[in-house]
Amino acid sequence: EAGVAQSPRYKIIEKRQSVAFWCNPISGHATLYWYQQILGQGPKLLIQFQNNGVVDDSQLPKDRFSAERLKGVDSTLKIQPAKLEDSAVYLCASSPGGSNQPQHFGDGTRLSIL
Amino acid sequence: GQQVMQIPQYQHVQEGEDFTTYCNSSTTLSNIQWYKQRPGGHPVFLIQLVKSGEVKKQKRLTFQFGEAKKNSSLHITATQTTDVGTYFCAPRRGSTLGRLYFGRGTQLTVWP
């Protein structure tokens, strides 16, 4: 089966600019996750979708980050405006359901803020 | 909030030596998953532990879940250079819809 697809792989922007990331999960996977992984740390969950509904966005900085999964398939994560501390790898993951199932990660988008 | 301690943070071993990483939580966990991330790669699922005292083996890897469901360990016997990477524990507490909390991971280096 095809894995989780993410684009772009790399993005360099200046602070205060906007950026968007795209994720296409494994076909049939109901649950989609966006993680932020800062260098040297473990992934931190930003938002979790179950189909097109938000299950957990408690760690999403809502003043600048937004995410949507309108049709319950692919998803976009946006940052507006970006800050220097947003430099990180943004990982998308999916799982078949929400309960006790492995998460399959994409290759991520490496974001650098100048 | 959830406190997850994973130790050691770094481990350097000679090929053929054993390796163990430990994951400790301040609260009782519903389950725990383990992931491996190669340098420059993305996390890859290894195993999930659910039951108190559970032990699971995958070839040279042995995973344990503590009796109190507050700690877990991953042991690799006779490490190989292909074992290089960062090993993350990702505990989950509360409902099965609850988020995974990834620790900082243990970065394993294997010298040939």
The residues that bridge with A60 in the sheet, in sequence order, are: none
pLDDT by residue (tens digit) across A33-43? 999 999 999 99
What architecture does CATH give domain A5-113?
A: Sandwich (2.60)
Q: Domain ranges in chain A? A: 5-113
List of chain B residues whose C-beta atoms are within 8 Å of the C-beta of residue A42 = 88, 90, 102-105
Secondary structure (3-state) at A105:
strand
List of chain B residues whose C-beta atoms are within 8 Å of the C-beta of residue A43 = 43, 88, 102
Q: What is the pLDDT of residue B97?
A: 60
User: What percent of chain A is modeled with pLDDT above 90?
Assistant: 87
pLDDT band at B4 (very low <50, low <70, confident <90, very high): confident
Q: What is the pLDDT of residue A70?
A: 83
pLDDT by residue (tens digit) across A89-106? 999 999 998 657 899 999
The total number of structural domains that make up chain B: 1
Q: Residue B96: is its pLDDT beyond 60?
A: no
- Rounded to the nearest angstrom, the minimum Cα separation between B2 and chain A is 12
Q: What is the CATH number of the domain that holds B99?
A: 2.60.40.10
pLDDT band at B76 (very low <50, low <70, confident <90, very high): very high
Domain that holds residue B88: 4-111
